[in-house]
Amino acid sequence: MLNFEFSILDFIQNLHSSFGDFVMPLISESGSGGIIWIVFAGILWIFPKYRKYAIIMLIALTLDVVICNLTLKPLIARTRPFDVNPVKLLVKAPTDYSFPSGHTAAAFSLLFGKNKLWIP
């Protein structure tokens, strides 16, 4: 871990508010396991015009799990920052490695099929 990463973590840790402490865990949890994206794909599936996008989303999310969670995370094996610099967590502590971010990878995977930005 680098010092600037601890600075960022400490800065975020000091941004507490009762509203934020209530809302942010809900937002974070909605991204866990790709739940929000799976629900969104389900909504798209309802409309025949958008079914191909639902299929693309589900394929992209599956590739995300295989590439990021099953391959890159164990390969890179980056410790989570709160394991090195303890902070008060508002959510249950994740047990997997920290990089790449599952939330970010799932959101980025939605670019798959839309344009060529997903290739890198």
DSSP the chain: --HHHHHHHHHHHT---HHHHHHHHHHHHHHGGGHHHHHHHHHHHHSGGGHHHHHHHHHHHHHHIIIIIIIIHHHH-PPPHHHHS----SSPPP-S--SS-HHHHHHHHTTTTTSGGG--
pLDDT at 63: 83
Looking at beta carbons, which pairs linking 21-24 to residues 24 or more positions away fall under 8 Å?
21/90, 24/90
Contact status, residue 60 vs residue 113, Cβ threshold 8 Å: yes
Q: How many residues does the chain have?
A: 120
Stretch 72-92: mean pLDDT, rounded?
79
What is the torsion angle, in degrees rounded to the nearest 10, for the CA atoms of residue 15, residue 19, residue 21 and residue 23?
A: -120
pLDDT at 44: 87
Of residues 89 and 53, more confidence is placed in: 53
Q: Is this model's pTM higher than 0.75 or not?
A: no
pLDDT at 18: 86
Give the pLDDT mean for 75-94.
Answer: 77
Average pLDDT over residues 7-31: 81
Most confident segment among 48-57, 74-83, 94-103: 48-57
Q: What per-residue confidence (pLDDT) applies to 120?
A: 47
Contact 8, 82 (CB under 8 A): no
